Structure 1
């Protein structure tokens, strides 16, 4: 396991302990030094991690070599614990983040409580390096590529027949194809991460979804 992956696991363990000092904190601090961590990007889940790193590679960047660690929260409600880990009493590193529209209030409330000022606007959050996907990253990628291109990707991945069957389900028939695609990607464990990588690989680099584009520019 490489140093950055070990750091991710250690930071997650530290956050799970509430950001308090102890063996988990000591291990994460040591690994942060070993891995050369200078910045942390907080994302909700593994698919977001995959997408951020895949886009960075397409742009000729190695986030690991730059000392940028992308940490999945395992759910937006963990944002407070991870900010404690990364903040002045923790690793004391620069922090940025990416979240879904439905989870923005969790991010905002913690940033208002721990940041430089209360009552943050959407623009204020972006100035702090936190960007919001509408409605989530899968939705951003589907809209960015278009439904036809996304279905071509499904075909390449061997999932198009399964998607056609999925479209015939009663709960899906009245939904538009974009919503069907988004829902389909969440039906099996690991599928979101699989398609996060595949869809990013198909993006026109001049038409990257705004939150993802701005996040990488920020870090």
Structure 2
């Protein structure tokens, strides 16, 4: 679980790509989360939110918690927070006040929009993945999709690719253009 006795806070995220992105943003901001007593916890899927809230939050270890999820999984976060006693019928604004932030679609969408599709394609080229991306673009299901959606599909098309690119995309960003959910979740802890 990556949480030890000296931790005072934890950031709960769905998986490894979210964890890598948050850690990369923290580094870009000159923060050492471990030294600050902040664990970034990859929950192994959003449906585990209730378990982690119970073990680490106000009913468990009493850590200050924050988190980030995709828009499609927002209801899991909301329901988990409500069941753990953080409020009832929470709005997105109320969830944000508690430190739990929602990406517009998902983390990859946030990073691609912040970086721009042209820069993401250059990054794919730098990493030797542009030819594979071009193959994906030729697939019938992808041909008519906008470039940003094709890029999101490509990042999720091979095991480990989302996690690998999460840090690379954050590192390529102008520090003034970091996605809001990443900024806010770090600002809460």
TM (norm. structure 2) is 0.97
Unaligned ranges ≥5, structure 2: none
Unaligned ranges ≥5, structure 1: 1-6, 12-31
Aligned pairs for 1:172-211 (under 5 A) are 172-211=142-181
Aligned pairs for 1:27-42 (under 5 A) are 32-33=4-5, 36-42=6-12
Query: 2:132 aligned with 1:144, yes or no?
Result: no
Alpha-carbon separation, structure 2, partners of 1:106 and 1:132 = 11
Query: 2:26 aligned with 1:59, yes or no?
Result: no
Q: Which has the higher contact order (CA 8 A, sep 6+)?
A: 2
Query: 2:131 aligned with 1:156, yes or no?
Result: no
Contact 2:54 2:84 (8 Å CA) reproduced: no
Query: 2:186 aligned with 1:213, yes or no?
Result: no
Shift of 1:41: 0.4
Shift of 1:216: 1.1
Shift of 1:88: 3.4
Query: 2:75 aligned with 1:93, yes or no?
Result: no
Which stretches of structure 1, 4 residues or more, deviate above 4 A after TM superposition?
none
Larger radius of gyration between Structure 1 and Structure 2:
1
TM (norm. structure 1) is 0.84
Structure with higher helix content:
1
Alpha-carbon separation, structure 2, partners of 1:185 and 1:56 = 22
Alignment coverage as a number of residue pairs:
189
Give the SS at the match of 2:175: coil
Give the SS at the match of 1:211: helix
Q: 2:45 aligns with which of 75, 78, 87?
A: 75
